[in-house]
Each structure stands twice: as C-alpha cells, then as structure tokens.
Amino acid sequence: MAQTHVDIEHLKRARKRRDYGAIAITIFLSIGALVSLLPLVYLVCHAFKPMEELFLYPPRFFVKSPTTKNFSDLMNITSESLVPFSRYLFNTVFITVAYLFLLVWIGTMACYPLSKHKFPGHKALFTTVTTALMFVAAAAGIPLYIINTRLGLVDTYWVYIIPGLANPTCLFLLKQFLDQVPDSIFEAGKIDGASEWQLYTKIALPLLRNAQATVVILTFGGIWGDAGTATTYIYREQFKTLAFFMTTIGGGIARAGAQAAAALIMTLPGIIMFILQQSRVMDTMAHSGIK
C-alpha cells in the first residue's frame, strides 16, 4: 500500500514538473538537522581531543589529532576505586535489559484487555492510567522511599527495576497502538474458534511489535542514564551503575578529558539503540497494513 502511494506521489510530481514546496522543506530541514546535530558531533569530537585541544583558545569545534587517551584515563580512574569499570558496566547492562524486558511485557499484557475487552472497570482503570501520565514521580518520593525500605528493595538490583515497572506512558502508548487495530480482526479469529488466549498471543502480540520497539526506544535513555536511584538507594559500591560512576568523576582540568569520554559512553548506546529500532519501527509501520 505504501508503495502505491509513493508511485502516485511520483506521478503527481512528474505532472507538476517540480515540487518547489518539497525542495524548500528539504533545504530547511537539512539546515535544521545540521544545527540540531551540533551537540552530538561536538560530544564525539570532544571525547577524542588531546589535552591541549580541550583547552585551546580560541576553542576549536572539531578534533585535529584524535586520541583515545581520554578513554584509557577513564579506565585508570576506576583502578583507584573499589569496583572495576567492568562491574559498573555489567550492572547498568543487566539492569537495563531486565527492566526493559519486564516493562514491555507487563505493559503488553495490560494493554490488550484495556483496548479490546469491555470488562467491568476497564474505563476506570484506563482513566487512572491517563491521569497517571500527569503524575510527578518526585511528588511521591518520600512515601516511595519508605515503601522501598519496608519491602527490602534497598541496596539490591530490584530497587532499580521494580518501582518503575508500572509505567503509565508505556501502557498508554501500547494501548493506543492496539486501539488502531480494528476489532473485526479479533472477531474473525473468534469465529475461527480461537480462544481468548490465542487471540492475545496469535493476533495481538505480533501486531504490537512496533509499539514494543517504540517503548524500548523511549525508556532506554532513562534507565541507562539512571544515576539518581543509586544515589538514593544503593550503599554497596558493587551495586552502583555506570551513570552513577560517571557523576562521581567530577570536573576540573585534570579530568576534563575523562569526563568527555564518559559523556560519550553514556550517550552512544542510546543513539545506537535508536538507530536500530527506528529503522525497524518505520519499516514495520509502512508494511504492517494497520489502518
């Protein structure tokens, strides 16, 4: 369907000879994109700058003689600390993977009945979710601290994962995606003799892949860069995250290089994730035939 649309567009363009609007928009977007990419390019350049280029006057945007010394400096800082760099990295990767996996599945499970079943109370539950989109996490910080302590989550991996699992934004997104799937597909499945469970696993789940990828993209940055939880809830150094370690590096002239390298390490996975998932989302959306 997408293909035919492109064809029609092409035909229209050919008829009009030249679509000046599209050209103007492309030029405008290209300039905007370059400006928008500046911080990222700067971040990459900065991480590979040798000491003398970091403090050059007048400052130079691009790196001239790139070096990986900043990264080895960063590793050396951890050699003085109690826990090796690899442990921080493992913690962050483990927490991120576990959290995203559980988050996506808890959301996916809840979104199907909310979207397709008219069970008693479904409206009240969904209103709760939409209202919860507006809740400020910090507003409940004090009681949450007490609850986390009482439940024994403090100073374990669980405190990173469990309290954030019921994420209303994710559930809302998944439910909205499923709403666009016509009910007739499910009714057809019912007529063919599928049980409710089969309708969920065989029809709803495959259709929700895009939405799941979107949820992963949107929540990845938050959990990967989560330094606050470690500060508040974790006392044992070996359970702290990479993001927390990065905040302890501190500034100063001696550590400016290491800090730039750290900033790149914290940012890059999110961007790579986004590139990987984005192509998938765009691709599947164009071909999935959801109307």
Site for other proteins in 113-142 (CB under 8 A): 113-114, 117, 119-120, 122, 125, 128, 130-136, 138-142
Q: How far apart are the first and last CA of the chain?
A: 11
Site for other proteins in 218-277 (CB under 8 A): 218, 221, 225, 227, 243, 246-247, 251, 259-260, 262-264, 266-267, 270-271, 274-275
Stretch touching other proteins by CB under 8 A, among 65-73, 77-85, 93-101, 161-169: 161-169
What residues from 62 to 101 belong to the interface with other proteins (CB under 8 A)?
none
Interface region with other proteins, contact rule CB under 8 A, candidates 72-80, 84-92, 213-221, 233-241: 213-221
Least distance in Å: CB of 280 to other proteins?
10
Q: Count the site residues for other proteins by CB under 8 A.
A: 100
Q: How far apart are CA 207 and CA 178, in angstroms?
A: 8
Give me the least distance between CB of 71 and other proteins, in Å please: 14
Residue 221: which region, alpha, beta or left (left: phi > 0; alpha: psi -120 to 50)?
Answer: alpha
Stretch touching other proteins by CB under 8 A, among 62-70, 89-97, 162-170, 184-192: 162-170
**CA–CA distances in Å: residue 151 to residues 115, 120, 223:** 32, 31, 21
Minimum separation from the CB atom of position 186 to other proteins (A) = 13
Nearest distance from C-beta of residue 273 to other proteins, angstroms? 9
Residue from 1, 15, 18, 80 binding other proteins (CB under 8 A): 1
Q: Name which position in 61, 79, 184, 191 contacts other proteins (CB under 8 A).
A: 61
Burial class of 144 by CB neighbour count within 10 A (0 to 12, 13 to 18, 19+): middle
Cα separation of 49 and 61, whole Å?
Answer: 10
Contact set for other proteins, span 15-54 (CB under 8 A): 21-22, 25-26, 28-29, 32-34, 36-37, 39-40, 42-43, 46
* Residue of the chain from 172, 186, 233, 239 that contacts other proteins (CB under 8 A): 172
Angle in degrees, CA 98, 159, 249, rounded to 5: 90
Toward other proteins, which CB reaches closer, 87 or 261?
Answer: 261
CB 161 within 8 A of CB 202: no
- Of the ranges 66-74, 78-86, 90-98, 196-204, which one interacts with other proteins (CB under 8 A)? 196-204
Q: Write the DSSP string, 150-213.
A: HTT-TTSTHHHHGGGSS-HHHHHHHHHHHHTS-HHHHHHHHHTT--HHHIIIIIIHHHTHHHHH
CA distances from 277 to 101, 178, 284 (A): 15, 19, 10
Shortest Cβ 187–other proteins spacing (Å):
16
- The answer to whether 224 touches 243, Cβ cutoff 8 Å, is yes
245 C-beta neighbours (distance < 10 Å), count: 24
x/- letters, 176..195, toward other proteins (CB under 8 A): x--xx---------------
Query: Of 246, 245, 219, 225, nearest to 234 (Cα)?
Result: 245
